[in-house]
Structure 1
């Protein structure tokens, strides 16, 4: 008996339970050929001669300068009171240091934006490259 049944008129036999393996083998052989062709392409690498670097990471962390502004317009340089006239000179001195310190601005909630903008402008004119704002998260 064949896999699809025969031409005989005898109806005494039950349905055939054989699986035709030829199409499955054909698919397997096609996949085998495809993988044999693509496998060498996946392992292809370009040989290049990379330069060797011999440097150590920098251990120097730039110091930070905390500049605080209170609601009345008072300035505090690292928690020490600072007259408004001396701010420009202090910022220029800080900008001239190597590595240049980071300026952390802390402002009271009641501080006028105009005062904060003036301080930021002075810092930019003095040459401060890194400036950030310090805030207190709400509980």
Structure 2
């Protein structure tokens, strides 16, 4: 006597349910682009609050990419951008802990060349 083979599980209803759930999630969720960089900032025992001057940010992300006020900037263009910076404006330097140290040093070297009086390096308190 021959036994009938089981036909297997019918997964079509499961796929239908998953597609309905995916449609609900996609229609409810918002796709707003947040213009912020996620950085893992180094931690120190001391840090001070920044003053309320007009400020500009130089950010080095984990991949070693450079940003000026959240806009991508080539390292070669940093010198030109810094030269146009007014002396009374504050300059904030943020670097991810995974950023290449060489990139950080190149940015600090560019900052030294302009002799800007208001430079702050951002860290987090431990």
Q: TM-score interval w.r.t. the shorter chain? A: 0.5 to 0.7
Question: Equivalent residue for 2:88?
Answer: 100
Q: Match of 1:67, SS? A: strand
Taking only aligned residues, the RMSD between alpha carbons, in angstroms, comes to 1.7
TM-score normalised by the chain length of structure 1: 0.49
Question: Equivalent residue for 2:54?
Answer: 63
Question: Equivalent residue for 1:81?
Answer: 72
Question: Equivalent residue for 1:121?
Answer: 109
Unaligned residue ranges in structure 1 (runs of 5+):
1-60
TM-score normalised by the chain length of structure 2: 0.53
Q: Match of 1:89, SS? A: helix
Unaligned residue ranges in structure 2 (runs of 5+):
1-51
**Structure with more relative contact order (C-alpha pairs < 8 Å, separation 6 or more):** 2
Which portions of structure 1, spanning 4 or more consecutive aligned residues, are displaced by more than 4 angstroms?
none
User: Greater strand share, 1 or 2?
Assistant: 2
Matched, 1:109 2:100: no
